[in-house]
Structure 1
Amino acid sequence: MAVKKNGEPLVDATATANETVQAASAAAKKGFDHTVGALKDGVSGAMAGFEKTQTEVKANMDKVMKSAEDMVSFGQGNVEAFVKSSQIWAAGVQDLSKAMAATAQAQMDAAMSTMKALAGVKSLKDAVELQTSLTRSSVEAAMAETGKLTDASMKLAEQALAPITARVTLAAEKFGRAA
């Protein structure tokens, strides 16, 4: 109801109050919707960041586990190479010992033969010639056996070191690439 005062219509107070309330409600709803939208965006961003972090952590843990597995495997390979090298060395030393024992036995047999031959000589000249001949053949045999043992020792060293050399080469390749 409009009331006139001094001839002018007065504004309907109820209508003005309703318009003000509606405008305030619309502004509040708009502000609330904006706040809810911002919160949703913030939560979505936080969730995306959390998921990204979780994915990166999982990928890094997978890399760490793979590296640990590789190191264990590499260490196991080193132990296996050392065991194989030790087995080759032990077998080779045993073979060398047998060869040296056979050489010593042959030298003992030759010494016994020399003693028997010297016991049967008829003159000093024959004894000197026999001794010279036996000494020469003994020195030649010793040199030949020394050469064989040296060659066998070198071959044994190469064979025994081969597994370890292979591991060193593998380590250089593997860790050379990593660096």
Structure 2
Amino acid sequence: MKKLLSLCLFPIFASVSLFAQKEAIKVDRVDFNSLRDDWIQMEVELSCHGNPSPEARDSRFVENIRVKVYLAFTRDEKKREYDYYVSEVEIVIMEQGDDNNVYFYLPGPIAERDQLNTDPDFYYVEVSVNDEEQSPQKSAISSNIPNLEILESFISKADAGSLENEHLLMPIYLVSGVELGRVSDLPVFLRRDVRQ
């Protein structure tokens, strides 16, 4: 009887466990595009699945979303040296069912100078809601990062190594005077750069 009861309860516990891991904001796809004059565009496609927090004002809305991207391009393959770029945006709010895209740009003269491929060697998209980091999502991690231990090492190296390239990987709203490529479904950004 005990064995039968535990077998009957297993699907319930499994579904509760899966529900607890459901993320409010999902990274559906990450894509890199080459633009005119060697500019590189990073496109991150997001979807909103509602707010699982019991304190949410309305379970259909997710607020205070931060999307932080980490890129690494090989500088010297023999020495295993990389150039790191980090950037982030804040999204004010998304509603359940919303699909939004965020875009980041690396200037063409830098890509030309360093002979960068359009796709970086490594990338990761970190999503946080209300300053709480969501679990890493497979679709947000480059295939060259096979496990969480390597991901944590990559993030640490990128945070330290990106200081020399600070502000070079730009969110869409900081780019001007260049063709932005295919752009659609922008969210409402919170721009702290314009505040005094």
What TM bracket, shorter-length normalisation? Answer: under 0.3
Task: Report the TM-score when normalising by structure 1.
Answer: 0.25
More strand by share: 2
Task: Report the TM-score when normalising by structure 2.
Answer: 0.23
